[in-house]
Structure 1
Amino acid sequence: MGVSWSNQMPVEGKTVLITGASEGLGRSAARQLAEKGANVILVSRSASKLETAMAEAKAAARDPETQRFHFISADVAKPDYAPPLLAEAVAWNNDQPIDIVWCIAGMSAPDFWLEVPLSQTRSQMDINFWGAAEIAHAVLRLWCAPDAPVVPEPKHLIFTSSVLALFPVVGYGPYTPAKSALRGLADTLVQEVEAYPQNVKVHVVYPASIGSPGFERENKTKPGVTKMLEEGDPVQSPDTVASGAIRGLERGQYFITTALYGYVFKWSTLGGSPRNNWFIDTIMCCLIPLIWIFVLPDIFSKIRKYRKTHGHPASYRAKAIEDHQSS
C-alpha cells in the first residue's frame, strides 16, 4: 500500500468487463482502457446505447487488428443476473477468465428519505449495492475456486462507490446507504481475498459529481437545500474521472478519489480501510478532522436557515421538479 512507480494494472491484451458502460463514467472508462490496449466487454441495459459505446471504444483501440470488443445487455438490479452474464463473457473470451471486472452501473434519485416511499431506497440499493455485490460474488468464486490457477499477475475487482459514502449530504438519503454498504463490502473483501492462494486485488473508486446524463436525471428530484450545499462544488467530466481512476489503479491504490474534496473526505474517514500511502494518509488523517470543527457547524447552520426560508421538506420535491422544468 506504499508508493509504487510501476504500472500495477497493465491492461494491454487483457479482457476488462465494465458494467454501466453505455454512458457516463463507464463509457469513458471503456474508451480509455481500449486506448491502452484492452479487450473490453461492455454491459448495460440498453443495447442501442451499448452499440454506440462499443463503436467508440473500437475506434479508440490501440491495436484494432488484435483487440476485441463485445457487449452484453443485462439489468444489474435483477437477482442472479451475474452468473449467466459471466458465463457468456467467459465463453466469448475463448473460455479464459476475465482479467478485470469494474462495477460502475448505478443511479441516484436524490430526495428526503422521509418524504419518499421506502421502496425508493430499496430500488437504489438493488442497483448500487446488489448490482455490484452480485457480480463480485460470482467472479470471485471463479477466480478463487480451489481449482483456479495460481499465477503471479493479479485479477482486479473494482467497485465504484461515491464521496457520499465518506461524508453524507442531506437530500441523498435514498442513495447514500447503498454506496456506504458498498464501501463496507470492499473493506471486508480486500482482507478476505488474502486468505486465498490466488492473486486478486480489490479497489474502490469514490467519484464526486460527474457531469453525465445520470447527473442531469438526478437534478430533477434533488432538493433545493442539497443544491444550495453543493453550490460551487466542481462537476468533473466522465473523462476526467475515468482517467483519474485509471491512474490510481495503475498505481496499485485501493482507495481511489478523483476530486480535491474526495481526498479531504477520505482522510476524515479512512478508519479500517487500507491506506494507499501509510505515511501521508496517516498524517492527513490526524490533520483533516481539525477542519470539521469549523465546517460542520457551518453546514448545519445553512440547513437551519434554509428550513426557516423554505418551510417543510414535503414541498421541496415539487419545487425541484418545477425549477428543473423551467430551467
Structure 2
Amino acid sequence: MTQAPATPPLITRTSTALITGASSGIGESLARQLAARGADLILVARTETRLETLAAELRARCHVQVHVLPADLNRPGAAADLAREVRARGLSVDILVNNAGLGSYGEFSTQQTAEIDHMIAVNISALTGLTRAFLPDMLTRGRGRILNVASTAAFQPGPMMAVYYATKAYVLSFSEAVAEEVAGSGVFVTALCPGPVRTGFQAVSQLHESDLLSGPARLTILSADEVARLGVQGMLRGQRVVVAGRLNRVQTLLPRLLPRAVMTRLIARVQGRRT
C-alpha cells in the first residue's frame, strides 16, 4: 500500500518553539506569532533584559510558558551548550526557529576578520549546530518544524555584502537539502527569505550607506510583523521556501533570467556606496 504523504501537524498547546534572535525584529515578531497560536516558547538572544520583558508580556497575554535562555551564538560551542541547557531543563523542541543573523556592509577587503568570523559563526555555524542538535529528536517523534531565516540575498552574489549574501545562500541551500532528506517523516523544514525589513538590522549592518534601500532599484521593505506572519503561515503549510513580498518574489527570479556575471554587476551597482 502506498503511504499517503505526511501533512504538517497543527501547533498544539504542548508544542514548544525555540527562537534565536528573539529579543527584537523578526525574531520578536515570530515569538508573538507563535505564542498567539498557543505554542510555549524558549527565547534565545544575548540581551536578557529584553527577553525577560517579552517573556512577561507573552505569558500574561497568551497564557503560554516562556523560558528565557540568554546565549551568545558567536561563541564557539554555543549551539551544543544551548542544546544541553534545553535538555537539562527537561524541555523538548517541536519548532526550531533559527532567526539570529548578522550582516555588514562594505568591501570584503576592508572588513575586520573578527567581523567576518562573527557573521559566519552566527549565520552558518550556530544555525547548522542547532538544527543537528534538535532534528534527530523530531524525527524520532515523527513531527516537528524547522524555520530557518535566510534572505532574498540568498539568490545571487552580493558585492559590498559578500559574506552576508554567501551565508544566506548557505542557509537556503542547506534548508532545501535537509527538507528533501526528511520528506515524509512528519518533519518539515522551511527557509524564510525576506528582503529588507524595518528593523535595526539596517543600522547595525550600515545599509544606510547603500542605494539598496533608497535608490531607484530599492527592494520592497516589509515590517517584521508582516514577514513573521508570512513565515509562520508558510511553515504551517509545509512550504520549503517562503519569499516574503510579491515584488521580492519577482526579483528572486532575475538570477534565472540574466547571466550570472551580469547579475553580479547589477547588484554591485545597486549596492554601491551612496555619495
CA distance in 1, matches of 2:137, 2:164: 30
CA distance in 2, matches of 1:228, 1:57: 35
The structural deviation recorded for 1:224 is: 3.8
CA distance in 2, matches of 1:230, 1:29: 30
CA distance in 2, matches of 1:130, 1:100: 19
In structure 2, runs of 5+ residues without a counterpart are: 1-6
**In structure 1, the residue corresponding to 2:97 is in which secondary structure?**
strand
CA contact (8 A) 2:144 2:186 kept: yes
Q: 1:80 aligns with which of 69, 74, 77?
A: 77
The residue that corresponds to 1:50 in the other structure is 51
Over alpha carbons, which structure has the higher Rg? 1
> Please, what is the CA RMSD of the aligned residues?
3.1
CA distance in 1, matches of 2:71, 2:165: 24
Q: 1:238 aligns with which of 224, 227, 242?
A: 224
The structural deviation recorded for 1:226 is: 4.4
The residue that corresponds to 2:12 in the other structure is 12
CA distance in 1, matches of 2:37, 2:216: 34
The residue that corresponds to 1:259 in the other structure is 245
The residue that corresponds to 1:140 in the other structure is 135
CA contact (8 A) 2:102 2:119 kept: yes
The residue that corresponds to 2:175 in the other structure is 186
The residue that corresponds to 1:311 in the other structure is none
CA distance in 2, matches of 1:51, 1:21: 11
The structural deviation recorded for 1:252 is: 1.6
**In structure 2, the residue corresponding to 1:105 is in which secondary structure?**
coil
**In structure 2, the residue corresponding to 1:175 is in which secondary structure?**
helix
The residue that corresponds to 2:122 in the other structure is 127
The residue that corresponds to 1:90 in the other structure is 87
CA displacement, residues 154-176 of structure 1 (integer Å, 9 cap, x when unaligned): 21111111100113443211311
**In structure 2, the residue corresponding to 1:60 is in which secondary structure?**
helix
CA contact (8 A) 2:172 2:191 kept: yes
The residue that corresponds to 2:235 in the other structure is 249
The structural deviation recorded for 1:142 is: 3.4
CA distance in 2, matches of 1:301, 1:137: 33
TM-score, length of structure 1 as denominator length: 0.72
CA contact (8 A) 1:169 1:226 kept: no
CA contact (8 A) 2:212 2:219 kept: no
The residue that corresponds to 2:4 in the other structure is none
In structure 1, runs of 5+ residues without a counterpart are: 1-6, 270-288, 308-315
Task: After TM superposition, list the pairs within 5 Å mapping 1:142-221 onto structure 2.
Answer: 142-144=137-139, 148=140, 150-151=141-142, 154-194=143-183, 198-218=185-205, 220=206
CA distance in 1, matches of 2:112, 2:73: 22
CA contact (8 A) 1:171 1:225 kept: no
The structural deviation recorded for 1:113 is: 1.5
TM-score, length of structure 2 as denominator length: 0.84
The structural deviation recorded for 1:118 is: 4.2
CA distance in 2, matches of 1:228, 1:238: 19
CA distance in 2, matches of 1:124, 1:301: 20
CA displacement, residues 236-280 of structure 1 (integer Å, 9 cap, x when unaligned): 1111110111111122211111112331244456xxxxxxxxxxx
The residue that corresponds to 1:303 in the other structure is 269
CA distance in 1, matches of 2:197, 2:47: 20
**In structure 1, the residue corresponding to 2:196 is in which secondary structure?**
coil
Aligned AA (2:239): Q
Number of residue pairs matched?
267
CA distance in 2, matches of 1:301, 1:84: 38
Q: Quote the sequence identity (%).
A: 23
Query: Using a 3 Å threshold, how does the CA distance of structure 1 residues 29 and 254 change in structure 2: closer, same or farther?
Result: same
Task: After TM superposition, list the pairs within 5 Å mapping 1:30-45 onto structure 2.
Answer: 30-45=31-46
CA distance in 2, matches of 1:80, 1:134: 9
